């Protein structure tokens, strides 16, 4: 398969598809931090979306101006245009011509502006003892199946650790760390969405 991981500088998902032998590429305006620049396309992703070369496109549009965690700044962001620009960028992925597309974002306004997600997953369903509700909008793909549920073990941890990403202190890298894909999510995507052919969605 040829896989495009859009807006992914970390290469978390790209690496998992590569490990299974697929021709996967990450793409972002930023240089990659995943240590494989030979698999990274440092450019605007929009011109790549409708190229016929891709069998699967997995998209991680920036959520800074869309996620409900930043709701207290929405009024300002609507006024100065940042939120509308983020909405417009997100919607570019919904128009991707590839027959198999996944769009990932946290709980946010796109569930209302676009449509409700096909699935909401949690890290604790994929062997991470943390909470972070993550939405998936899917085209031509089945819902991700949980791989290892550690919910009961997670409940024994302090809430601050369960909500680790929410409680990160301010830093230059905070947004990048918060947006990094959990390895359990990445492995599930690669293992479950590899070599599907054209999936007949019942959603």
**pLDDT band for position 200 (50/70/90)?**
very low
With contact defined as beta carbons under 8 Å apart, do 128 and 153 qualify? no
Residue 202 pLDDT > 60: no
Question: What is the largest distance, in Å, between two alpha-carbon atoms of the chain?
Answer: 48
- How high does pLDDT run on average in the chain? 92
Mean of pLDDT values over 45-72: 94
Answer whether 56's CB lies under 8 Å from 93's CB.
Answer: no
Confidence of residue 70 (pLDDT cuts 50, 70, 90): confident
pLDDT tens profile 160-193: 998 887 766 776 665 666 667 999 999 999 999 9
For 86, how many CA atoms within 13 A lie in the half-sphere containing its CB?
Answer: 20
**Which domains, and CATH codes, for the chain?**
2-114+135-143+181-193 (3.40.50)
Sheet holding 134-139, edge to edge: 40-42, 23-28, 2-6, 56-59, 101-106, 134-139, 119-121
pLDDT tens, residue by residue, 142-151: 999 999 999 9
3-state secondary structure of 162: helix
């Amino acid at each position: 398969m040829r896989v495009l991981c859009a807006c992914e500088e970390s290469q978390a998902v790209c690496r998992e598809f590569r490990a299974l032998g697929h021709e996967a590429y990450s793409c972002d305006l930023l240089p990659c931090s995943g240590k494989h620049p030979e698999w990274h396309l440092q450019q605007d992703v929009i011109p790549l979306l409708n190229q016929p070369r891709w069998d699967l496109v997995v998209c991680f549009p920036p959520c800074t101006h869309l996620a409900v965690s930043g709701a207290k700044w929405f009024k300002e962001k609507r006024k100065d245009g940042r939120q509308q620009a983020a909405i417009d960028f997100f919607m570019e992925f919904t128009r991707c011509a590839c027959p198999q597309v996944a769009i990932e974002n946290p709980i946010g306004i796109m569930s209302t502006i676009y449509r409700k997600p096909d699935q909401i997953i949690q890290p604790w369903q994929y062997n991470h003892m943390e909470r972070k509700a993550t939405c998936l909008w899917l085209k031509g793909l089945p819902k991700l199946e949980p791989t290892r549920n550690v919910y009961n073990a997670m409940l024994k941890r302090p809430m601050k650790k369960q909500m680790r990403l929410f409680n990160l202190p301010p830093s230059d890298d905070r947004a990048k760390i918060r947006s990094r894909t959990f390895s359990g999510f990445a492995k599930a995507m690669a293992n479950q969405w590899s070599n599907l052919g054209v999936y007949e969605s019942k959603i």
